[in-house]
Structure 1
Amino acid sequence: MPIRLRVTLLSTWLLAVALAVFGVTFYVVLVTSLRDEIDRRLETRSDAVHAYLQARAAAAQNAVGGAMMIIPLSDLEGAPIDEVREPGVFVQLVDPRGAILTGSRNLWGTSLPIDPAWTARVAAGARGPTTVTSRNALPMRAFYERLELGGSTAGVIQVAESLGPLILTAIRVERILLAGGFITLSVAALVSWVAVGRALEPIAQVTRTARQIRATGDLARRVPGANSDDEVALLADTLNEMLASIEATVARQREFLADSSHELRTPLTVVRGNLDLALRAPDDESRADCLRDAQAEAARMGRIVDDLLLLARNDTGMTFTRATFNLTDLLHDIARRARIVSRRVTIEVEAPPTVQINADAERLRQAVGNLVDNATRHTPAGGSVTIVGRTTGDGTAIDVRDTGIGIASDHLTRVFDRFYRVDRDRSRAGGGSGLGLAIVKYIAEAHGGHVTAASSPGRGSVFTITVPTKGGASDESMPA
């Protein structure tokens, strides 16, 4: 069941319960109040009839000499009780045995129903209202009171009023409550349906946009933002952030695959071309040259594949083995190997005799070696490359400084991206794969550190690896 329908039904049901409780309470209170008002009115009329009859009895007694005397019940027959009767109110006098003595003229020859139980109770001194049914089956409210004349019980006063008006009023109120409740529920359901629909419209837009993105593959699309600070707006913002992250990831993957294909296609083409030339070579020397070129390109392609595998492990996670060793010895060894490969620049090491560091020695050798290789390839003949090892307040820093061509500021933020080259043609011609600095960044961050670059065109560059201090000299495994 859709959320919109569920919310509408739930809100309508809750309102219906509230209206039902209100309606029943209002109906009961109203009917009870009207009945109590009738009882008070009947009691007042009964007291008036009682007082009137007592006054007539007193006047009759005074007429015979002023002595209190018992008036015969026959004297009450035909008493003009209509003088104290209100319209719609019926009055009847009954003797203690239940025989009717007299009644108001609006009874039209009929009589009020007599409840023997109440007659007996009234004769014993009780008084109060009760509900009786007339001879034509109409409910009536009757008030019973004992009539005392001359110190003895002369009979029972019955004052009654039809409950027809009260019943009609109750029916009208009941119909109004039912009609009003139905109209209120209908309007509330419609308002709830519209309001919930508007509240859920941003979610519907999110759903439509997500389906369109799935159908078209257009990750550049964004979910329309809600003009509020509610949960729907938060959902839209979160989805947009997720879409932006997915778009960036897919873009990097596409760029990575394109660059990988391009980088691998070039050496494969060279290898294929040299093999074709070797097959057609006129002599052994030409054939050997072609095979050497093919071997060199195959080795370069192997290095690219190794670098790609290392970075792929970064995406899946790998474990480095850390140990404490003398960084200065490692830097001198890196410099010695670099001098063998590049004799056209001067490579020096500046470091104290002992700089203790806790790291993966082989991975750190690879990172510093990549920086040194990058520096020697971009430093003109006669220039210098300096490897500096030093301690800092929170760890160890390794600087690789060169006097090379430098890097423009707009390239510095991207030099650590995979396959990014400041000068693509020259870098490829120099043997670079475009992955060296990305590997440096990965190794530095895997050690909990970072790498930075500072450069000025024509004045050289400085790359710095910072590795935070790790306690203990024992080996430890470190997830990358």
Structure 2
Amino acid sequence: MTLSLRWRLTLIYAGLLGLTLLFAGSLSYVALRHTLYAGLDDALRGFAEHQVRQEATLDFEPPPRVSKVLDAINRQQPIRMTVYDVGGKVKDWGPSRVGFLPQTGTRQVGAERVFTLRTASGWIQTSQSNQGVQAALRQILRLELLGVPLLLLLALALGYLLADRALRPVDQVSDLAARLARSGHSGERVPQAPGTDELARLTRTINDMLGKLDSQMARERLFAHASAHELRTPISVIRAATTLALEQERTPEQSREVLEQVESVSEDMSSLIGRLMTLASATRPPARQSVNLADVTLMVSELHANETHGKQLHLQVTVNDAETTGDFGALVLAAGNLLQNAIKYSPLRSLIHISCDADTVSARLTVQDAGPGIPADELPRVTQPFQRGSQTQGLSGAGLGLALVQAVAESQGGHLELLNADAGGLRATLILPRLVASDRIER
């Protein structure tokens, strides 16, 4: 039978507590025993030393009748004292319970604790039963043997309650994961655990992950729906053209026209599929390498120089050192899309400014055009696949360029910022984390 994590934690806690109580109880028992016997030994020693002082100050022998009374009193005292001469013969006080022991110090003889002191005239022996000490120790032992099991049972109950409370967020995560696996919907969230401990961080991390997963799934559903919508039109055109061509006899010239139409539509569809594949691959984690956005800016400017000249546009390039980390090819592709958009929507003989710079936090690549811009209420949606601004009507394009740039930026820890410039036109800025010295990677 496999125990649950709650019971394993509870039993471990109870076992450690039991060992701790056993160790602490043993130490306390030994310490108490030592204290009680030390007190008994001190009393015996004090009694003997007091007799030595009396012998030094008293130089008369009490009458026999007084001696008998003193002996009777001595026998009734808890501490029995006997005075011996040098040869071990009893000189004074009552008879010893254990007999003459000609060795100084303390010892245990049966149930008697005995202290013997050597004096100038002989020996003084004091003794007392240790039954009181043993009774106290037995009582302490009984209390410990009774108390430890009760404490362990209480510890089991409290330990289980604490483990149950601590693991409740984990149960909620497990239940949520099971529901998500059954339903396939990621809209639910785990109740946030209070505080800043490990479980609170776990629930926050799970909720953040679910939020990103939900957004990713929503983008993928939109991507799939929009892709099907965009591909349906060229496929319908091809099917209609080929169906009409097969329904009746056509001259070679007419057949050639149909083939040219099919070829043109196929090229558009191939271009669209290529962009879709590029967008899909752009979301993959990039290879981690050091990239300077100055190199990206210069390469993109050279790659699209002919397009700029063909539309009689003036391209102004400003580069500053702007190191970051990411995939050089993906960044060139993203920056190229920004520049292509600027070329497409800029009027003839206008200025396009492409630049890069950096601060202590981020590296930025900016493309500023002089086109119509994008209405402010449309800026959030134009970074979604197949979404275009209202100012782009009549211009070719599938609405994938900014979506591709956004996907590349997010995959490399950054984001795309779109702003309408005060002087007109759109300012598109690719913002990425700055490369610091500790993250520097050899290329």
Residue 112 in structure 1 maps to residue 97 in structure 2: yes
Which of 313, 323, 331 matches 1:349?
A: 313
Deviation at 1:38, TM superposition (A): 3.0
CA contact (8 A) 1:326 1:356 kept: no
Could you tell me which residue of structure 2 aligns to residue 212 of structure 1?
179
Question: Could you say if the C-alpha distance between residues 79 and 206 of structure 1 is closer, same or farther in structure 2, counting changes exceeding 3 Å?
Answer: same
How far does the alpha carbon of each residue in 1:382-441 deviate from its partner, in whole angstroms, 9 at most, with x for none?
xx54542447685997654446xx7432112222322113469x96x8653222444576
Q: Following the alignment from structure 1 to structure 2, what is the Cα–Cα distance between the partners of residues 391 and 143?
A: 103
Residue 252 in structure 1 maps to residue 242 in structure 2: no
SS of 1:228's equivalent in the other structure is coil
Residue 81 in structure 1 maps to residue 71 in structure 2: yes
Q: Which amino acid aligns with 1:58?
A: E
Which residues of 2 match residues 434-445 of structure 1 at below 5 A? Answer: 434-439=399-404
Q: Following the alignment from structure 1 to structure 2, what is the Cα–Cα distance between the partners of residues 327 and 227?
A: 52
Could you tell me which residue of structure 2 aligns to residue 58 of structure 1?
61
Q: Which amino acid aligns with 1:82?
A: A
Residue 298 in structure 1 maps to residue 266 in structure 2: yes
Q: Which amino acid aligns with 1:421?
A: R
Which residues of 2 match residues 182-221 of structure 1 at below 5 A? Answer: 182-221=149-188
Deviation at 1:273, TM superposition (A): 1.3
Could you tell me which residue of structure 2 aligns to residue 39 of structure 1?
41
Residue 454 in structure 1 maps to residue 404 in structure 2: no
How far does the alpha carbon of each residue in 1:326-384 deviate from its partner, in whole angstroms, 9 at most, with x for none?
96995565463xxxxxxxxxx653468xx688999x967775445444x39xxxxxxx5
Could you tell me which residue of structure 2 aligns to residue 142 of structure 1?
114
Q: Which amino acid aligns with 2:283?
A: D
Could you tell me which residue of structure 2 aligns to residue 471 of structure 1?
none
Deviation at 1:267, TM superposition (A): 0.9
CA contact (8 A) 2:193 2:199 kept: yes
Could you tell me which residue of structure 1 aligns to residue 107 of structure 2?
130
Q: Which runs of 5+ in 2 are unaligned?
A: 321-327, 358-363, 432-443
Which of 24, 41, 50 matches 1:22?
A: 24
Deviation at 1:308, TM superposition (A): 2.0
Question: Could you say if the C-alpha distance between residues 295 and 461 of structure 1 is closer, same or farther in structure 2, counting changes exceeding 3 Å?
Answer: farther
Deviation at 1:277, TM superposition (A): 0.3
Q: Following the alignment from structure 2 to structure 1, what is the Cα–Cα distance between the partners of residues 356 and 89?
A: 119
Deviation at 1:98, TM superposition (A): 5.3
Could you tell me which residue of structure 2 aligns to residue 174 of structure 1?
141
CA contact (8 A) 1:98 1:114 kept: no
Q: Following the alignment from structure 1 to structure 2, what is the Cα–Cα distance between the partners of residues 44 and 436?
A: 102
Deviation at 1:226, TM superposition (A): 0.6
How far does the alpha carbon of each residue in 1:40-61 deviate from its partner, in whole angstroms, 9 at most, with x for none?
444455567775999695356x
Deviation at 1:264, TM superposition (A): 1.4
Residue 239 in structure 1 maps to residue 239 in structure 2: no
Q: Which amino acid aligns with 2:129?
A: S
Q: Following the alignment from structure 2 to structure 1, what is the Cα–Cα distance between the partners of residues 215 and 81?
A: 97
Q: Which runs of 5+ in 1 are unaligned?
A: 61-73, 134-138, 337-346, 377-383, 469-480
Which of 162, 176, 194 matches 2:129?
A: 162
Deviation at 1:225, TM superposition (A): 0.5
SS of 2:61's equivalent in the other structure is helix
Q: Following the alignment from structure 1 to structure 2, what is the Cα–Cα distance between the partners of residues 416 and 89?
A: 100
SS of 1:414's equivalent in the other structure is coil
Q: Following the alignment from structure 1 to structure 2, what is the Cα–Cα distance between the partners of residues 349 and 31?
A: 101
Which of 295, 300, 307 matches 2:275?
A: 307
**RMSD value over aligned CA atoms?**
4.8
Q: Which amino acid aligns with 2:109?
A: V
Question: Could you say if the C-alpha distance between residues 42 and 462 of structure 1 is closer, same or farther in structure 2, counting changes exceeding 3 Å?
Answer: closer
Could you tell me which residue of structure 2 aligns to residue 419 of structure 1?
386
Q: Which amino acid aligns with 1:309?
A: M
SS of 1:28's equivalent in the other structure is helix
CA contact (8 A) 1:49 1:81 kept: no
Deviation at 1:462, TM superposition (A): 2.4
CA contact (8 A) 2:48 2:125 kept: yes
CA contact (8 A) 1:388 1:398 kept: no
Q: Following the alignment from structure 1 to structure 2, what is the Cα–Cα distance between the partners of residues 167 and 326?
A: 95
Moved more, 303-312 or 258-267: 303-312
Deviation at 1:113, TM superposition (A): 2.7
Q: Which amino acid aligns with 1:34?
A: L
Deviation at 1:80, TM superposition (A): 4.9
Which residues of 2 match residues 216-231 of structure 1 at below 5 A? Answer: 216-231=183-198
Q: Following the alignment from structure 2 to structure 1, what is the Cα–Cα distance between the partners of residues 201 and 302?
A: 53
SS of 2:109's equivalent in the other structure is strand
CA contact (8 A) 1:143 1:158 kept: yes
Deviation at 1:182, TM superposition (A): 2.8
How far does the alpha carbon of each residue in 1:265-319 deviate from its partner, in whole angstroms, 9 at most, with x for none?
2211210111010011354365555444333322221221222233344335699
Deviation at 1:237, TM superposition (A): 0.7
Give aligned pairs, total.
Answer: 404
Question: Could you say if the C-alpha distance between residues 273 and 98 of structure 1 is closer, same or farther in structure 2, counting changes exceeding 3 Å?
Answer: same
Q: Which amino acid aligns with 1:237?
A: R
SS of 2:214's equivalent in the other structure is helix
How far does the alpha carbon of each residue in 1:139-165 deviate from its partner, in whole angstroms, 9 at most, with x for none?
1123445688xxx65xx5544322222
Deviation at 1:172, TM superposition (A): 0.9
Q: Following the alignment from structure 2 to structure 1, what is the Cα–Cα distance between the partners of residues 338 and 49?
A: 114
User: Rg larger in 1 or in 2?
Assistant: 1
Question: Could you say if the C-alpha distance between residues 142 and 400 of structure 1 is closer, same or farther in structure 2, counting changes exceeding 3 Å?
Answer: closer
CA contact (8 A) 2:367 2:427 kept: yes
CA contact (8 A) 1:327 1:357 kept: no
SS of 1:58's equivalent in the other structure is coil
CA contact (8 A) 2:272 2:398 kept: yes
Question: Could you say if the C-alpha distance between residues 466 and 84 of structure 1 is closer, same or farther in structure 2, counting changes exceeding 3 Å?
Answer: closer
Identity of aligned residues (%): 24
